[in-house]
Amino acid sequence: MLELLLTDARVATMDPAVAGPYGAIEAGAVGVRSGRVAYVGPAASAPPARHVEFLGGRWVTPALIDCHTHLVFAGDRAREFEARQNGATYEEIARAGGGILSTVRATREASLEDLVESAIGRLEALRRGGVATVEIKSGYGLTAGDEEKMLIAAGEAARAAKVRVKRTLLALHALPPEYRSDRAAYVRLVCDETIARVASAGLADAVDAFCEGIGFTLEETRAVFDAALKHGLKIKLHAEQLSDMKGARLAAAYGALSADHLEYIDEEGVAALAKAKTVAVLLPGAFYALKETTKPPVALFRKHGVAMALASDLNPGTSPMLSPSLAMSMGATLFGLTPEECLAGMTRNAARALGLDRECGVLKTGLAADIAIWPVDHPAELSYWIGHPGPDALFIAGAAVEEH
């Protein structure tokens, strides 16, 4: 006996094993038992259930997954936005000690409680948009203790907002001011202390680094990857966002779950991602906010069969974006993804980018019952509306989320 059956639905399973666009099942149903999907298929052959909901032909999809955010932070960067609107560039602001470092100052000063509270608000905004799983990076603390504080805040906020979370240590995000004259010492601190502390406390699943001219070099990134692997953490990388540092190749060589941004990646880099089955995470919010013009090479990702995910990159500097719908709209309109690629980018491929492909991201028997019910007539609408308000209902591990 199922606990819940959502029936009289059109189901975009996003499961590649189901033939056709979106892995769609017309006149379909999804059944739930013990927080897992227990049936996906034609409504006519669904087993009996204690509760049955008739959806009147509405579309059901896997709940969305935002696989790249920096949503724990203090302060805001609205003044910096104003400076940029008056002509300053992101790089100029960063070199003048603003940018990421201004958020570092505010985040170090903030209490754990304040970080949790503001993060809950952002998580709830994403959740209203249909997001059940979020990745959250550190990177605004930079000392071992402050990075731990951020990751603890991420865990507590996710628990309070009842969303599934994956946490990523991004200690190589910016050079902290106290190490300005000794980069090597900072990288050593991260390798020898921060990673070990975070890993042994179970505060992160992966490490990431900002491999960039205004961030960290390939060699510095490599050192952190080596330390991360030693401590059993997975690898992710901010690569080729503002220039071609050949970071994606390095990430692929380390078997990274994902390489993210990738506006400046070349074909050799794309081929390396394909070979390593590393997911390309595209972040149109930062591209939009920075008014970039170089787009990620979507045609090359398709040609080489690199899975593309799409995420908000929610952060105070380059992507203050609280809407998964906007990420999908921008993925389509700015980067040229098809609506089906956009939805795959925030479901199936996002799950892969987090190492969660056996847990969520498609509607398939045995996976978590993370389900969104949308008031739309076609799944293309999820990328078509510019800022869709979100699903009518959202289930996370089989539990209905209240405000929907």
395 binds ligand DI6 (CB under 6 A): no
141 binds ligand DI6 (CB under 6 A): no
286 binds ligand DI6 (CB under 6 A): yes
Q: Using CB under 5 A, which of 313, 340, 341, 370 touches Fe ion?
A: 313
**Strand order through the sheet with 206-209:** 64-66, 131-137, 164-172, 206-209, 234-239, 258-261, 279-282, 308-310
Per DSSP, the three-state class of 131 is strand
205 binds Fe ion (CB under 5 A): no
Token representation of residue 396: 């996370």
Q: How far is the CB of 238 from Fe ion (least distance, A)?
A: 6
What is the C-alpha to C-alpha distance for residues 320 and 326, in angstroms, rounded to an integer?
11
Strand pairing of 164-172 and 206-209?
A: parallel
Residue with tokens 């979106």: 22
Question: Which lies closer to ligand DI6 via its Cβ, residue 22 or residue 210?
Answer: 210
What is the C-alpha to C-alpha distance for residues 250 and 301, in angstroms, rounded to an integer?
17
317 binds ligand DI6 (CB under 6 A): yes
Q: Using CB under 6 A, which of 22, 39, 186, 210 touches ligand DI6?
A: 210
Our separate counts of H helices and E strands in the chain read: 16, 16
Radius of gyration of the chain (CA): 21
Interface characters, 74-103, with ligand DI6 (x: CB under 6 A): -------------------------xx--x
Measure the CA angle with vertex 188, ends 184 and 194; round to 5°. Answer: 135
Amino acid in position 12: A
Number of residues that bind ligand DI6 (CB under 6 A): 13
Q: Determine the interface stretch with Fe ion among 59-67, 269-277, 298-306, 308-316 (rule: CB under 5 A).
A: 308-316
List the interface residues with ligand DI6, window 163-202 (CB under 6 A).
173
285 binds ligand DI6 (CB under 6 A): no
What is the C-alpha to C-alpha distance for residues 27 and 43, in angstroms, rounded to an integer?
6
Question: Which lies closer to ligand DI6 via its Cβ, residue 138 or residue 241?
Answer: 241
Q: Determine the interface stretch with Fe ion among 139-147, 171-179, 312-320, 385-393 (rule: CB under 5 A).
A: 312-320
Q: Which residues bind ligand DI6 (CB under 6 A)?
A: 70, 99-100, 103, 173, 210, 238, 241, 286, 315-318
